[in-house]
A and B are shown apart, each in its own frame.
Chain A
């Protein structure tokens, strides 16, 4: 069994009257268990040169088989230009913008939707510029559907 630990520390000395410090750590488990996750995409890095909305993690077609499984997603906009951002979407619902240096860490539940083929829970990213943007991303999970070769 693998052990994957994710930690977050948020600090600020001047946001509020007293110093703010928040720290949390958790071990990534399979859904509803204390068994560690055993699968990962690894940390990937891409250089996007168009504003096209692309899938970072494609939809899982066989949703019922994977629904409720644990998936954790990390995405970071590695741009150094503060005006550049990446818009993150799940399905067709915009989560928010990652500006230069911003990251997100979130669970991903490939829920079934009303469409017949259930193909819409993909995690998408759209750069704000076509001049090139580095993105890093990773997923830790307990099951993911690979596309059948053609």
Chain B
């Protein structure tokens, strides 16, 4: 068993009284207090086209050992670029493989867009890596060279 701590801190003067959030979670296996003990390691990937592709394919590649049955997995992704106008569209489901984003069906079963990561932005989410439709997709906003870093912690 390993101990992995993730600490989130947010500070803002967005309101008159200020706002801060400070929280630490210890990443544990589903339904237990036992720590997660596996990781893909920190990966870095380079993109030179606007094609929508899988960043992580559930059950294969670097994610081959990530549970596909709703257990506890945490996913970190960061756009490590510096151009504030460039972004990645992060989604979940089936990537198109081409420059057109997969159509978002109203039932969301095949694909749904999560959001955009502009330069320097990062996200940390649980990942339900269900087979076939649980892939994490990525689509650069430009064909100029862009970089992303990502890492999965899992049981």
A residues whose Cβ falls under 8 Å from a Cβ of B: 2-16, 20, 22, 24, 26-27, 29, 31-34, 37-40, 42-43, 68, 70-71, 74, 76, 82-83, 85, 88, 90-99, 101-109, 111-115, 120-121, 138, 140
A22 CA / B150 CA spacing, docked (Å): 11
Residues of B close to A106: CB separation below 8 A = 114-115, 123-125
Given the interface pairs A105-B124, A108-B115, the reply to whether A93 lies near B93 with Cβ below 8 Å is yes
Q: How far is the CB of A73 from chain B (nearest CB, A)?
A: 8
Residue among B10, B13, B116 making CB contact with A6, cutoff 8 Å = B10
Interchain CB contact under 8 A, A12 and B12: no
Contact, CB under 8 Å: B126 / A104: yes
* Choice from A2, A68, A95, A112 contacting B116 with Cβ under 8 Å: A68
Contact A29 B128, beta carbon cutoff 8 Å: no
The size class of the interface chain B forms with chain A is: 35 or more
Of A10, A32, A97, A113, which contacts B128 at CB under 8 A? Answer: A97
**CB pair B115 A107 closer than 8 Å:** yes
Contacts of B104 in A (CB 8 A): 91, 111-114
Instruction: Determine whether the beta carbon of B112 is less than 8 Å from that of A92.
Output: yes
**B2, chain A: closest CB distance, angstroms:** 4
A15-B4 in contact given A24-B122, A88-B126, A91-B104 (Cβ < 8 Å):
yes
User: Does the CB pair A15–B89 fall under 8 Å?
Assistant: no
Measured between alpha carbons, how far is A87 from B87 in the docked complex, in Å?
27
Tell me the number of A-to-B contacts counted with CB atoms below 8 Å.
Answer: 209
Closest to B111 in A: A93
Report whether B106 and A120 are in contact in the complex, using a CB–CB cutoff of 8 Å: yes
Q: Does B43 contact A (CB under 8 A)?
A: no
- In whole angstroms, how far apart are the Cα atoms of A110 and B118 in the complex? 16
- The contact of B31 among A6, A20, A99, A140, by CB within 8 Å, is A99
Cβ of B145 within 8 Å of any chain A Cβ, yes or no, is no
| Candidates B70, B76, B118; contact of A29 at CB < 8 Å | B118
Task: State in angstroms the CA–CA spacing of A7 and B8 once bound together.
Answer: 6
CB–CB A138/B25 < 8 A: no
CA distance A49 to B12 in the complex (A): 31
How many Å from the CB of B28 to the closest CB on chain A? Answer: 6
- CB nearest neighbor in A for B1: A14
Q: Which of A76, A98, A111 has the most CB of B within 10 A?
A: A111
Docked pose: A33 CA to B86 CA in angstroms: 10
CB <8 Å contact, A3 and B108: no
Report 29 cross-chain contacts, Cβ distance below 8 Å, ordered by A residue: A3-B13, A4-B10, A6-B8, A8-B8, A22-B76, A22-B151, A24-B78, A26-B122, A29-B84, A70-B116, A74-B8, A82-B32, A82-B33, A92-B109, A93-B112, A94-B128, A95-B125, A95-B126, A95-B128, A96-B126, A97-B30, A97-B72, A99-B30, A99-B31, A105-B125, A107-B117, A107-B123, A114-B103, A121-B112
